[in-house]
Chain A
Amino acid sequence: MIHADKTISSYNWEKMVDSFNEKETDRLAYECAFKNSKFFYNPDYLSFYKDDEFRSLVVEKIKRIKDIQLSNLYPNSKYLISSKYKKIDCLPTDIVVYKNKFYFACADGVFYKKISSLSYYSPHALSPSTYYLTDKKAVNLNVSNGGYLYLSTLDDGLWVYLLNRDFEYSDILVDKKTNKNLKKISKEHSSFVNSNYSSIFIGSHYSESLFYEIYYDKKKRKSKPPFNIKQLFTYKGKSFFITGQDKMYQFTNSGLYMVQFIQSKIISGEEFSSPKLVIERQFDIDLIVSASVELFGIVIEFKDKLEILLSDGKIETIEFYESLINWRTFPRSHNYTNQLHLVFSNHIEIISINHDFLINQIQKRIGIRYADFDYYRDKIDY
């Protein structure tokens, strides 16, 4: 947790969650809601979901803990691991964690701290020293599993920094021979960047948004020239675009349109589906501040509220009674993909969203498809 005074606190999250659990019969719900979001996606349990009684029981268990308040994140909490000496020089614009390093973007560059892999629960796990990565003034960071750190730098374009030089396919985006880890890959305006497998979406609040197909062919990393994502959609009016893995969305005044993206079909040229209208209603494009595509659905921040378009078709609206300082999701995490963290001036609210494992991931239109067990999911009759 990064505080307004730029100190960093770490908490023993698992123990804290356990402390809320007073009944053994609630253990499973706490486990899945707060500690292990992927638990119910396990293919071994899929056949249970055909059993209505079992489904109802799982839903009932989760509902039983739905309004709890986590109130233990105080500075003197017994679950606090460390806050001393862990100060950074700015309130970061964005943060990412990759291979035991904590990267953060400030207005004057990107920096990192090391995280000791020996003991995550030690007060000394995070290095007191801050290391300099680049002077690029990034407003958004995105790291791919291959170690490509993408940096959106507004009118300075999109840059990539290769964090993992040992990565097998590191030869295309970043030039190993010149020993440069950093390379500009788009000169167009970039406000944010999303990964769609190894391809990337370059979003802009100011200019056109682009899609950049990066793929592997015969063990070589290749790319096609970036193109305006508008080309994939038929609605040509004012729009806001956002993507996440296999889905691309266009918010418009007449509704939400979706194009499905299949990374493995780039070579054959059949990677994009035709656009489909998935929600018919007006979205006021001028009021959209930011958005994100998650497993559980799509989070959209408007100027005065937050909406969660859930993958089961429902919509949750969160009105602000005080200003929302920040919000975060954790799409790359192993355990918190179902969480939305809302940061207010004197507290954070952690919302755990638990319905998506009951959704047919193949037919799902809103939200990222859970893909780890596609083979099994194909065979399940929902």
Chain B
Amino acid sequence: MIRVGDVCEIGYNGETYNFVKYHHQVGHPKKSWWTIKLKVESSLFFDMTKNKIMSSDKKNGYNLMLINKKAYEIGKDIQKNKLFLAKFKYNNINWHGYPANHYIQKDRPEEEVYSKLEYSGIDLSIIRKLKKGQKL
């Protein structure tokens, strides 16, 4: 069973993932936090590595949780806004992830990521809203 703080080899190609504590602490003053189960978080990471939804330098990965082809809330930011985009970062040893804010430039996918999101089966309508910084 996965627990917060664990580092597990759960990627499609054996990538290790750190379930960092601060992104699981509800109401953290500086960090966004997941509102989904660890199992769902790990499957978002697994699908990201399987479909290679990454920036060209392979340092950032992204994914969205879809239910009935619609983006589903995966976390909250410090102002308690709903977050939909999962962002994963690689520090040359292992990966960690957090719910990202697609209204903020530093959290947004790189240009090359959008076509990978499309190839992974995400609807162009959702990709358009993500790109335009609209409500998902």
Interface on A for B, CB 8 Å cutoff? 4, 89-91, 93-94, 106-108, 137, 139-140, 153-156, 189, 191, 205-206, 286-290, 303, 323-326, 345
Contacts and interface: CB of A to CB of B under 8 A. Distances in A.
Contacts of B131: 91, 93, 107, 139
Nearest to A91: B114
A137 B133 CA distance: 11
A323 B125 contact: yes
A289 B114 contact: no
- Tell me whether chain A's interface is mostly helix, strand or loop, or mixed: loop
A290 B134 contact: yes
Given A107-B114, A324-B125, A140 B132 contact: yes
B132 A94 contact: yes
Contacts of A156: 105
A205 B104 CA distance: 11
Contacts of B111: 89-90, 106-108
B99 interface: no
Given A106-B111, A289-B129, A326-B128, A303 B104 contact: no
Interface in B93-131: 103-105, 108-111, 114-115, 118, 123-129, 131
B80 interface: no
A153 B105 contact: yes
Given A93-B132, A107-B111, A155 B103 contact: yes
Given A154-B108, A323-B125, 7 more contacts: A107-B108, A107-B131, A137-B105, A139-B131, A154-B103, A189-B103, A303-B70
B87 to A, nearest CB: 14
Looking at chain B, what size class is its interface with the partner chain? Answer: 20 to 34
A107 B135 contact: no
B69 interface: yes
A154 B110 contact: no
A4 B124 CA distance: 9
Contacts of A287: 135
Contacts of A137: 105, 108
B135 A303 contact: yes
Which of A106, A286, A323 has the most chain B CB atoms closer than 10 A to its own CB? Answer: A323
Contacts of B125: 323-326
A323 B124 contact: yes
A325 B132 contact: no
The 6 A-B residue pairs whose C-beta atoms are closest, nearest first, are A107-B111, A323-B125, A206-B103, A139-B133, A325-B124, A108-B111
Contacts of A89: 111
Given A107-B111, A108-B110, A289 B103 contact: no
A70 B111 CA distance: 33
Nearest to B71: A303
Nearest to B82: A286
A303 B109 CA distance: 22
